[in-house]
Every structure is written in C-alpha cells, then in structure tokens.
Chain A
C-alpha cells in the first residue's frame, strides 16, 4: 500500500513539474503547428540559470523567474530564425538546441552544479508553512503554480492575440488575410512555450538538488508522449479541457514509467521506451487506416 501511495505521489509531483514541458510542447506542436525542438536545450537552460543564480546568493524566486525569462529569450531566438531568416521550423529548433548546449555550459562553467544546502523555492515554501521540505509540500507548491499558469493560459488563449495565435497554427494564410501578424503570433507562442519549459527545468533542478547540462536529453519526446497520452486518454474539447488533459497525460506517462521502473526496467532503457511509445502513438492511426484500405498521403519531409 505504501509502495503504491509513494509511486502515486512521485508521479503526481513529476506529472505537475514536467507538465509545464508538456504544455510548452503542446503550444508549439499542436497550437502553432511549429515543431520546436529547442526544448531539449531550453530545459537545462532553465536549470542552469536558476542554479548559477542561487549559488551566487540570488533569491530563489528571482532565480526561477530569471530561468523562465531566459527560456522565453531562447524561444524568441528560435522563432526569429524561422520568421525573419526564413529557416525551416524544425531546423531552427535543432540549431537552437545545439547552440544552447554550449550556452548552458558557458552559464554553468561546468557540467553539473550541486544545489545541496542551498535555499531553493521549495525550502522557502516549506518555511512559509513552518515545516521542512517534503514530497507532499512540493506537490502542493507546484500544483498552485500550475493552477496559476493554467488560468493565465486559459485567459490568454481567448484574447484577441491568443485567438490569432491559435488560428496561426490552423490557417496561417487566413490570419494574414485578416490582418493578423503571423510572425508576431509565432514569436509570442514559441517564447511562451520555451519559457514554460525553462521554468520546469528550474523547478526540477531545485527539487533534485542539482542542475546538469544533460538533463534535457529526450525532453521533447517526453513532452510529446505526455501530450499524445493526454489527448488519447481524455479526448478533450475546448481550450480549458486540453490544458488539463496535457497535465493529466504527463501524470499518466510518469506513472507508466514509474511502474515500469519498479517492475525492473533498467533506467538506461527509459528513453528507448519513451521513443517507442511515441512511435506507436503516431503509427497506430496510420496502420488502422491502412488496414481499412484508406489512402494516406506520404509524410511531410520539410
């Protein structure tokens, strides 16, 4: 019973903390139709910025906010490569991801920064409730944060800019024809997405007690898996439902991984399993159509 309870708690914490990554991936891949791969770089960027600022005595809240901002700037750069220099979206993200690897090392000065015995947002939150840091406290803290961000996004996606942003991913030609600046909506969307990813990196680094330059590897696939699982499990309709479903999907994904690990899956196989999961989710609809004899156009290359 304890094992199950513990597993659920850990999955809940991870589902919420990595949920920001999934929301970021959802905004680029699904809302904007912009397959942004900079995520693998902006996740450790958030961890790096927060860790370096914290060990240099900056207030952890401020450090976390700075991490969010740094991610938005990274996203801004990716979107500028695409909109202003006309570089293919996929390539813009890859270029940014590669560049960020060096940038992260430059920021950190080394490959790993331990945060043990440093005051993090989790300790500060614990201090507020006059208790020590614990898993349940981390869950409550991130849940509140997630709620705030969900409410903000839920509002933003219904504003005039938010509506234009959603329409950009649906029908870019139409948005321009109606006077919407699709360069601007793309930039705003990718910046928000990477800001959330970096926020997640900053929170994870503080809770696990270190920032590592390799902590972002496979983050994009994990985010995609969470989004796909969320959509498949909850079949959400409407903006609010989708946002909640993405968090739900992240939780389900983390629970699945947690169970697999408990059952003896070597942690080294984790990325392989995640990749297989996404491949299956993407290929099954095609196979199903093929079996029914439907014609499916070849995949897009560029």
Chain B
C-alpha cells in the first residue's frame, strides 16, 4: 500500500486515559493503520480492546496522545475538533438514541444530516425540495418511513431509528462511514435487516467503511478486510484473500496465537448470539 493511495491514515496513535495515575488505561497502543478508498474494514475484539476508542479518535471525540497523527486525503486533521472532522466521517453509534434526535421529526433529523460539511446559515432547513429528496431515499429502505416525515423520531422502534441513523450518516456522502457496533442493541432479526441495509448503502454509494462488531460471524461475512484488536493493539490483520477461507474457529486460534491468551469473552465465542453489553 503506497501512501498516496490510502484515504485515511493513522500514524503512531496512542491513547491513555487517566495517564500517570494508578488507574491508567492504555486504550490504544501504537496504532498504525492505512485505509484505502473503497475498503470495508470489520474490526473485532473483546471488551476493552480499544475498538470504540479507535473510532472516537478517528471521529475526533478526543485527540490522540502527543505524536499521533490522523491524515485523510493527505491532509493532517489531528487538530480538527469533532464538528470540523464531521465533514469527513459519518457515524452510526451502538445506541440508536445517540444517532438521532428524539424530539424532532424524521424530516428535521435528515435536514440536520444533509447539512454535514456545509456551513449552516439562515435558510429554511426543511424545504419541500429536501422533503421530496428524503422521501425518495427513505422509500429504498422499504420500512414505510417515507410517509412519516413529520413523525417524531422518539416514537420509532430501535430498528427504525438505527436505519434512519444510517441514512443520516451517509446522506451527505462522507469520505468514511464509522459503524460502532451499530446492530448490537437490536434483536437478531432487526440486526440482520440493518446489516443488509448497511451493505446495500455502502456498495451503492461506494463509501469507505469501518465497522466495529462484537460478532465474529458478521466480521467474516461483511467487508473486505478484518482487523482484530486486543488491549489497544491490532493483533490480526487479514486482507480479502486471507479472510475468504477462514472460519470462526480459525479466527479464535489466530487470536490465541497472537495474544498468547485464551479468549474469555462469551459474547465473542457465541458469535451468532446478540452481545449483551457494550465495552
């Protein structure tokens, strides 16, 4: 991978919380990552492996420790604060209530999302033209949301809200889509629907995506590259070829080889079940 090719680069990214105290936690330990345009990377790891910290560092929720760099399209964005970074990154969170605004309508939520990367002015936000546009996009989800643009988002189900959050994260075509265990809080059936939607949107819009998951099977089915994280480091990095004929069992073996310990996280071992908790 040459440098000019990669869309997103993380160079020497470290993150320690409560540094210098007895409670010090090394959330990220010298992460170097090159993401190519068009990649769909799945990231797997147990609780506390640093998956969510990695997405938070990319999205700018907090900065990396001194020396770390985040580069997108050859531009150093390490010092961009979160709302300035948002022009590059769409994000879907684990909890549907974080990705959407409950007391506002579907139309208003989408109007907020479509303004990503542009300066917000004094023009009316929810115009008729935009509503028509939203209706067309929502119709492709086949969830009936297109007829409910004036419905408050708080009255939708978790799955509907997460589908909406997905549309909101991608409607303004960000460079990279960050998915943070976005199906973990949904029932298996709804999770399947949202994952299919995710794959459709990613392939149709040709968005580069990074998907954090607790579920080994999902990590193997989706995407073209797989990263496994452990204690803040990436311990396994499989490209499309390497990944193709690997099973969950192989993945577990790879984990034990790389980390030198047994995987003791039920939610990962039971790869088809719904993980119960967030790290």
A residues neighboring B (CB under 8 Å): 155-156, 158-164, 166-167, 170-171, 173-182
Contact = CB atoms under 8 A, between A and B. Distances in A.
B103 interface: yes
Interface stretch (B37-45, B82-90, B186-194, B203-211): B82-90
Interface in B124-144: 124-126
30 contacts: A159-B122, A159-B123, A159-B124, A159-B125, A160-B120, A160-B123, A160-B124, A160-B125, A161-B121, A163-B104, A163-B112, A163-B126, A164-B115, A166-B103, A166-B104, A167-B108, A170-B101, A170-B103, A171-B98, A174-B98, A174-B101, A175-B112, A176-B86, A178-B112, A178-B115, A179-B83, A179-B87, A179-B115, A179-B117, A180-B83
A175 B120 CA distance: 12
A170 B59 contact: no
B27 interface: no
B164 to A, nearest CB: 11
Which of B86, B99, B112 has the most chain A CB atoms inside 10 A of its CB? B112
A178 B113 contact: yes
Contacts of A156: 122
Which of A159, A174, A176 has the most chain B CB atoms inside 10 A of its CB? A174
Q: What bracket does the count of chain B residues touching chain A fall in? A: 20 to 34
Contact of B98 (A162, A167, A173): A173
A163 B117 CA distance: 16
B173 to A, nearest CB: 13
B236 interface: no
A111 B116 CA distance: 50
A107 to B, nearest CB: 32
Interface in B36-59: 59
A163 B98 contact: no
Contact of A178 (B103, B121, B168): B168
A231 to B, nearest CB: 13
Query: 4 nearest interchain CB pairs?
Result: A179-B86, A160-B120, A163-B125, A170-B101
Contacts of B108: 163, 166-167
Contacts of B102: 170-171
| Interface residues of A, dominant DSSP | helix
Interface string B74-117: 00000000111011000100000111111110001001110111
B103 A158 contact: no
Contacts of A173: 98
Which of A163, A164, A166 has the most chain B CB atoms inside 10 A of its CB? A163
Contacts of B82: 176-177
Contacts of B97: 171
Nearest to B121: A160
A30 to B, nearest CB: 10
B125 A167 contact: no
Contact of B125 (A162, A170, A181): A162
Contact of A177 (B91, B103, B124, B125): B91
Contacts of B98: 171, 173-174
A155 B126 CA distance: 12
Interface string B147-172: 00000000000000000000010000
A177 B98 CA distance: 10
A159 B125 CA distance: 5
A156 B116 CA distance: 19
Which of A155, A173, A182 has the most chain B CB atoms inside 10 A of its CB? A173
B218 to A, nearest CB: 23
B135 to A, nearest CB: 18
A162 B83 CA distance: 17
B101 A182 contact: no
Contacts of A163: 104, 108, 111-112, 120, 125-126
Given A170-B102, A171-B102, A159 B115 contact: no
Contacts of B59: 177
A215 B269 CA distance: 67
Nearest to B99: A174
Which of B97, B108, B120, B121 has the most chain A CB atoms inside 10 A of its CB? B120
B125 A178 contact: no
A129 to B, nearest CB: 34
